[in-house]
Amino acid sequence: MGGPSVLHGLEGSIAEIGRSLHERALRANPSLFDARGLRGRLAARALSDERLRSALFHFIDTLPQLGSAAEVAGHFRAYLGAYELGGLWGRVLRLGSHPALAGAVRASVKRVAREFLIEPQPSAIRRVLRRLARLPATATFDAVGEAVLTDQEAERYLQRNLELFELLARESSEPPAISVKLSALTARFDPLDRSGSCRRALARLNWFLTRAVELKANVTVDMEQHELKGLILDTFFEVLEQFPHAGWLPGIALQAYAPDALVHVERVIEFARTRRRRIGVRLVKGAYWDTEVALAEQRNWPVPVFLDKAQTDQQYELLTARLFDHPDVIYPAIAGHNLRSLSHAIAAARMRGLRRDAWEVQMLLGMADPLSKAVASEGIQLRVYVPVGDLLAGIAYLIRRLMENTANNSILRQTYAERRPLTDLLAAPHPAPMQTEARATGFRNLPLIDFSDPKSAAAFRHALDAVRSRLGSTLRLNVDGTTERAAGHHVCTNPASRDETLGVVEMAGVAHADRAVANAVGAFESWREVAVERRVEVCRRAADLMLARRERLAALEVLEVGKNWREADADVAEAVDYLRFYAQQMEALDGWRPTAGFPGERNDLTYEPRGVAAIIAPWNFPLAILTGMASAALVAGNPVILKPAEQAMLIAAELHGILLEAGVPPAVCQFLPGEGETVGRHLVEHPDVGLIAFTGSREVGLAILERAGRVVSGQRQVKRVVCEMGGKNAIIVDADADLDEAVLHTLHSAFGFQGQKCSAASRVIALESVHDRFASRLADALDCYPYGPPEDPQYVFGPVISEQARERIERYIELGKSEGKLHYRGRVPQSGHYVAPAIFTGILPRHRLAREEIFGPVLSILCAESFAQALDMALDSEFALTGGVFSRLPEHIDLARRRFRVGNLYINRRITGALVSAQPFGGIAMSGTGVQAGGPDYLKQFLWTRVVSENTLRHGFVPPSPGT
Ligand code: NAD
């Protein structure tokens, strides 16, 4: 293997080769950095002004979506108006919304685009091939375009590739070379559904590869985001098994910025050797660096790429050497524009005496023409990566490349714009000593399980089996240690399969509720006196216990309420977060705090628990919400009575067990499985219950508020009701919205957990110009998701909670047919409580479908003429829980921030999945009492404040204030 010592021996030749390449490559500038001409000047300014650079790219990003001249002008001004632009773009800016502006801007962007991608026409292909032949170089083509969200789009992607194949076969004397993205071959390329994703991608690839074999083509599978890497590699190996024919060259791209890249290189070499199969490996540094780092930070996952660029560069050289060591089975393509990496590769190949045709260098079209000329004239085989696509639709590609190559650490920027000295450019990469990652302090959410790791998926499958094997027992009614005669029975069933009984829960009646309240009253004094550190410790221990049982708890949710794996895991993670977050918050509220520093007077405030708390929870976040409300009450010093929803009692019993095991005394945390209308109501009205924490429907919530406000005989305190209710949440899709994003995020916001989230989108208000396209893409995308039992991870969507819910939702769907137009209806199995998802168009704000919470997989799409009207429509609701906006116009985003008054507003992202602490969650207006769970103010609702003021003056003597 090529270790550092081998590399050392190469330094002399690397320097020599580098100097020669550099001399030739610097004779001209690549057009991107060519400061002559208008575009060059703008690009040069963008390089020196980070904000302008970002504004410019943001503006270009919106272009394909913009229709009228006025829209183009508006965006141009919004992004670039603050800059003094000279030349044509400056003049263009002064044109205002003149129709000429749109044309001029589009033409200008197309001109830039044409340098980096070509249109899929024979003449353009011929031109580029001729141009490359002069270098000399060959090409590999890549059909770029919009994101693939639907099967129709995947089909079109395949068709584009097939057409490209035929075009190349006709136009070129060389065997065609194409790069494909596996994620674009199916609408659902999901590592959790490994075999299904692989099967779907292969089904499409089949034709394509049959033709590849005939044409002796060279097909390289592109590497994508980290999460997809395992799946891409598995699918690639499957392709090789299914198309063992010699003659065509299969290839895979591998990314040196991934610390585990060597493992994958070895796996490919091993495969090639055992199957006696030649495989191409395109070695790249990696194009998703920023996204990988940002996503890992957001998810609190380990960052899957090197943070130090020098580590990537160093690994790149190691991998190059490794690939060069196997010329009989590996055909390396060294892809990049880095003078040092290329010089190293050339030196390493020469040192090994590799034949000219044993490897090649690859570069991107238009990125570094002078360098590519220099490489070709060294006698190295060169292949140019040519993206093919509509110039405007391919803009995502263009932006990514422009961002990458104008970033501060871009080697092209350093070579051409900054003119770094040659010794710097050719210096061997020296990574800085490994730094332990400096994580931000403060609250950290529990990372979700990364199911792209097959080990995690296997552990979850195992947990499902284990949970199922232990189901079926009867949970005896027990009030504070005494087994009681039950008031009834509740049979818990799996909503995905009507006949599967999960267990039986003995139900409490009002007499049990009375006893539980009496126990709690008796326990209050002592629990209040327990030191805050102890209560905090108990919560943290409960969090640890929950974490240790994470998969089991989530598996139980899958069976009891029909959540899919990811959603169930997220619910458990949120529960752990609540325990830890409120523990941390309570630490900060502990003790007496001075309110003012007057001499001779002491003023102190303290927080104290309020009394017995009834915790009345819904079933849809069965662990998180119950845990959140209960842990806030407990850590604050209140005894709790857990009254879970009837549909989620098994998971609630698990929580009860965990809290007791963590050290909460039994009388301080009692489990009271009972019906809402009887036991729940009784608790609310009980004179000794001082605090009610409720989450559920508006109907029940308002009734609770009213009843709790009625003072009954024997009552000693005004009841506090913490009340989180439903929503009728709207997403506005603006005329300039990125539809790839808007469709995908709306799909998950509206149909995730079958729409049974209080935060779910149930209205979309789309601007006229995007309405039809949005509606049809959304329906097509949704149609790619089969419905089925969520314990099988191929199903993202499953049943609704009960037969009663199913019937209620079906009635709304019938109503929708008379109020609007049924735009889409899915298909579902018959075996459980399934509702086929429905999308309605033609719904007006006054329709019941637009006003009432349905709590199921039903989405109404309304149409608005302007953004202002869309905002009015969104706000025309009695609910105000969540809302969303997809827009790229800064003034619309600002307007939404100011006026879209809901508890949680989400901009350009999905509207579900709030994280404890980062996104405190809860509604305002008629959706809740307005203090969000998981936020800085929530805990105080479970506490009184008391203030003590003491005159410390004694006959004119002022004692020193405490602490001085
Ligand atoms: P629900 O209102 O039917 O029941 C919630 C809880 O209240 C259950 O434990 C139930 O037994 C109890 N209950 C019912 N009638 C009662 C009464 N008369 N007195 C006292 N308790 C009574 O709601 P659900 O079907 O379990 O949950 C779905 C609803 O919850 C939706 O409306 C959803 O929007 C809402 N929700 C809101 C949030 C939020 O944070 N705002 C979160 C989750 C769910």
pLDDT single digits (tens) 804-832: 999 999 999 999 999 999 999 999 999 99
Backbone angles phi and psi of 608, in degrees to 5: -140, 150
Give the integer Cα–Cα distance in Å for 121 and 273: 40
Q: How far is the CA of 732 from the centre of ligand 1 (A)?
A: 27
Closest ligand 1 atom to 699 CA: 2
Q: How far is the CA of 550 from the centre of ligand 1 (A)?
A: 25
The pick from 640, 675, 683, 700 for probing ligand 1's pocket by mutation, whose C-beta has the most ligand atoms within 8 angstroms, reads 700
Higher-confidence residue: 45 or 617?
A: 617
The pick from 758, 808, 877, 941 for probing ligand 1's pocket by mutation, whose C-beta has the most ligand atoms within 8 angstroms, reads 758
Query: Is 442 a residue whose pLDDT tops 90?
Result: no
Over the range 362-376, which residues count as b (16 or more CB within 10 Å of their CB) and which as e?
bbbbbbbbbbbbbbb
Among candidate residues 492, 539, 669, 758, the one labeled active-site is 758
Of 201-205, 517-521, 598-602, 762-766, least confident by mean pLDDT is 598-602
**E strand or H helix that includes residue 499:** strand 497-507
Which residues is 33 bridged to in the sheet? none
Kindly report, residue by residue over 671-692, the tens digit of the pLDDT. 999 999 999 999 999 999 999 9
Q: How far is the CA of 477 from the centre of ligand 1 (A)?
A: 22
Work out the pLDDT band at 649, boundaries 50, 70, 90: very high
Sign of CA dihedral 764, 734, 67, 38: negative
Query: Is 540 a residue whose pLDDT tops 90?
Result: yes
Intra-chain end-to-end CA distance of the chain, in Å = 68
Over the range 19-57, which residues count as b (16 or more CB within 10 Å of their CB) and which as e?
eebbebbbeebbbbbeeeeebebbbebbbeeeebbebbb
Question: Alpha carbon 98 to chain centroid distance?
Answer: 39
The pick from 505, 507, 616, 675 for probing ligand 1's pocket by mutation, whose C-beta has the most ligand atoms within 8 angstroms, reads 616
Give the integer Cα–Cα distance in Å for 304 and 302: 6
Judged by DSSP in three states, 716 sits in coil
Q: What is the chain's mean pLDDT, rounded? A: 92
Query: Is 313 a residue whose pLDDT tops 50?
Result: yes
The predicted pLDDT at position 8 comes to 54
Is 724 considered catalytic here?
yes
List all residues 6 or more positions away from 683 whose beta carbon is below 8 Å from its beta carbon.
Answer: 513, 517, 614, 616, 641, 643, 672, 689, 692
Work out the pLDDT band at 46, boundaries 50, 70, 90: low
Kindly report, residue by residue over 712-761, the tens digit of the pLDDT. 999 999 999 999 999 999 999 999 999 999 999 999 999 999 999 999 99
Closest ligand 1 atom to 696 CA: 30
Highest mean pLDDT among 136-150, 438-452, 925-939: 925-939
Q: Which residues have C-beta atoms less than 6 Å from ligand 1? A: 616-621, 625, 643-646, 676-677, 680-681, 684, 695-697, 700, 703-704, 724-727, 758, 853, 855, 881, 922-923, 928
Query: Is 102 a residue whose pLDDT tops 90?
Result: no
Instruction: Tell me what the mean pLDDT of segment 129-141 comes to.
Output: 93
Give the integer Cα–Cα distance in Å for 179 and 253: 9
> Residue 428: what residue type?
A
Nearest CA to ligand 1 atom 18: 677
Give the integer Cα–Cα distance in Å for 472 and 500: 9
Closest CA to 828 of 838, 820, 818: 838
Work out the pLDDT band at 43, boundaries 50, 70, 90: low
Q: Strand 601-609 and strand 943-951: pairing?
A: antiparallel
Rounded (to 5) percent helix, strand, coil in the chain: 50, 15, 35
Give the integer Cα–Cα distance in Å for 802 and 621: 15
Nearest CA to ligand 1 atom 35: 696
Predicted TM-score (pTM) of the model is 0.94
Q: How far is the CA of 725 from the centre of ligand 1 (A)?
A: 7
Give the integer Cα–Cα distance in Å for 661 and 658: 5
Give the integer Cα–Cα distance in Å for 545 and 553: 11
Nearest CA to ligand 1 atom 10: 676
> Residue 447: what residue type?
P
Which residues is 731 bridged to in the sheet? 764, 884
Kindly report, residue by residue over 157-204, the tens digit of the pLDDT. 999 999 999 999 998 888 999 999 999 999 999 999 999 999 999 999
- The tokens describing 583, both together, are 């523990």
Q: How far is the CA of 787 from the centre of ligand 1 (A)?
A: 26
- The tokens describing 464, both together, are 């499902």
Q: Tokens 């773009």 — which residue? A: 89
* Contact assessment for residue 718 and residue 552, using Cβ atoms and an 8 Å cutoff: no
Distances in whole angstroms, Cα of residue 366 to Cα of each of 121, 178, 732, 887, 932: 18, 18, 38, 31, 51
Among candidate residues 724, 791, 853, 863, the one labeled active-site is 724
Q: How far is the CA of 700 from the centre of ligand 1 (A)?
A: 6
CA dihedral 237, 241, 245, 246 (to 10 degrees): 40
Closest ligand 1 atom to 684 CA: 20
Is 723 considered catalytic here?
no
Maximum distance among all Cα pairs of the chain, rounded to whole angstroms: 108
Of 96-100, 252-256, 418-422, 880-884, least confident by mean pLDDT is 96-100
Nearest CA to ligand 1 atom 9: 645
Q: How far is the CA of 203 from the centre of ligand 1 (A)?
A: 45
Backbone angles phi and psi of 84, in degrees to 5: -80, 95
Give the integer Cα–Cα distance in Å for 261 and 313: 12
